[in-house]
């Protein structure tokens, strides 16, 4: 028997038919032989599919011959391609794909804390250059949106900190008026904000208030209502902001009732708006002395 083992090793190579290689272990316990050991000594001679490191010999797809010549040595001579380990049965043999989260990580690194980042088309080449893998345009677009969402934070958590935000807003802006209305389940419904500087400055503006609403492009949806005046230089002067669930009778009435605590009713006051029926009704019910003009 020709041996190819180094001095001090507890195994020896056994030439077979020139193509397969056998190995004899001078040990009485197969549990002492791990996959990492086999990979180091056998894979260089014959290619096998990788398993998890540290698996005992009982999980390696090799046929173990009986002890050689009734000695304490075992001989491994045949390789079987059918694995019995958990990885072999669960592996799909598919290449790993780049996820939107991975793209978002690259965006955060190259564009730290920026909302305006590279286009999805540029990100395709950027990911390929960084990771050396192909990625689809859609994945890059989703990763780009994920990066922006990470900066803006979770909308649900944002709604939870509204009371703290309004408290600080009133504290650092004297005479600021805010109002937060929750539903019976203690969830967000309406929000009203009028900064103290805007309230104080309205005294010197023309007593004409323009009111309009627009929808919000957010996960939760909703509408943004804004009331503005006009200064002597014909510039828009913001007075109050309101976030509601829609242009309905109840939401419009709540807005004007809250606005009335900031801008009192007066015969000198004029409202200008579009022909929204709920808006027209709310102005007539809340501001009894003021005038209201709307688009024809």
Each residue's pLDDT tens digit, 22-54: 444 444 454 445 444 554 554 444 333 444 333
d(CA 30, CA 43): 19
What is the model's pTM?
A: 0.58
Question: Given 40, 61, 90, which residue is the final one in a domain?
Answer: 90
Radius of gyration of the chain measured on its C-alpha atoms: 37
Phi, psi of 245 (to 5 degrees): -90, -10
The whole-number pLDDT of residue 53 equals 35
209 with 119, same domain: the answer is no
- Stretch 50-68: mean pLDDT: 40
Q: Do both 168 and 213 map to the same domain?
A: yes
Question: How deeply is 268 buried, as exposed, middle or buried, from its count of CB atoms within 10 A (0-12, 13-18, 19+)?
Answer: exposed
Domain count, the chain: 3
Range of the domain at 234: 158-294
Flag whether 5 is in a domain. no
pLDDT above 80 (res 21): no
Looking at residue 78, what is its pLDDT?
55
User: For residue 39, what are the contacts with CB-CB under 8 A and spacing of at least 6?
Assistant: 48, 50, 53
Mean pLDDT score, 79-85: 54
Lookup result for tokens 């807003």 = 169
Choose the weakest-confidence range: 14-18, 73-77, 134-138, 140-144: 14-18
Q: What is the pLDDT of residue 16?
A: 42
Burial call 270-289: b when 16+ CB within 10 Å, e when fewer: bbbbeebebbbebbeebbee
Domain assignment of residue 242, yes or no: yes
pLDDT of residue 88: 44
Per-residue pLDDT averaged across 175-199, rounded? 93
Nearest to 150 by CA among 119, 126, 189, 117: 117
Does any domain span residue 3?
no
Residue 71 lies in a domain: yes
Q: Based on the fold, state whether residues 132 and 212 are members of the same structural domain.
A: no
Between 85 and 177, residue with greater pLDDT: 177
């Amino acid at each position: 028997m020709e041996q190819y083992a180094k001095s001090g090793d507890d195994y020896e190579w056994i030439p077979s038919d020139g193509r397969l290689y056998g190995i004899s272990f001078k040990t009485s316990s197969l549990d002492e032989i791990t996959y990492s050991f086999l990979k180091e000594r056998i894979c260089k001679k014959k290619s096998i599919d990788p398993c998890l490191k540290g698996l005992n010999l009982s999980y390696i797809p090799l046929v173990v011959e009986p002890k050689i010549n009734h000695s304490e040595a075992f001989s491994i001579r045949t390789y079987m391609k059918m694995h019995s380990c958990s990885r072999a049965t669960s592996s799909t043999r598919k290449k790993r794909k780049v996820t939107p989260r991975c793209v978002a990580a690259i965006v955060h690194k190259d564009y730290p804390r920026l909302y305006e980042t590279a286009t999805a088309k540029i990100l395709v080449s950027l990911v390929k250059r960084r990771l050396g893998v192909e990625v689809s345009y859609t994945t890059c677009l989703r990763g780009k949106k994920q990066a922006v969402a990470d900066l803006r934070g979770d909308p649900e958590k944002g709604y939870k900190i509204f009371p703290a935000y309004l408290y600080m807003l009133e504290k650092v802006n004297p005479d600021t008026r805010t109002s937060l209305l929750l539903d019976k389940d203690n969830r967000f419904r309406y929000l009203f904000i009028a900064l103290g500087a805007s309230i104080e400055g309205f005294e010197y503006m023309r007593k004409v208030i323009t009111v309009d609403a627009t929808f919000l492009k957010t996960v939760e949806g909703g509408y943004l209502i804004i009331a503005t005046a006009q200064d002597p230089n014909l510039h828009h002067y913001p007075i109050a902001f309101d976030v509601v669930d829609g242009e309905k009778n109840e939401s419009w009435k709540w807005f004007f009732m809250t606005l009335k605590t900031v801008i009192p009713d007066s015969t000198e006051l004029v409202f200008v708006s579009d022909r929204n029926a709920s808006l027209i009704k709310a102005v007539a019910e809340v501001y009894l002395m003021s005038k209201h003009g709307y688009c024809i």
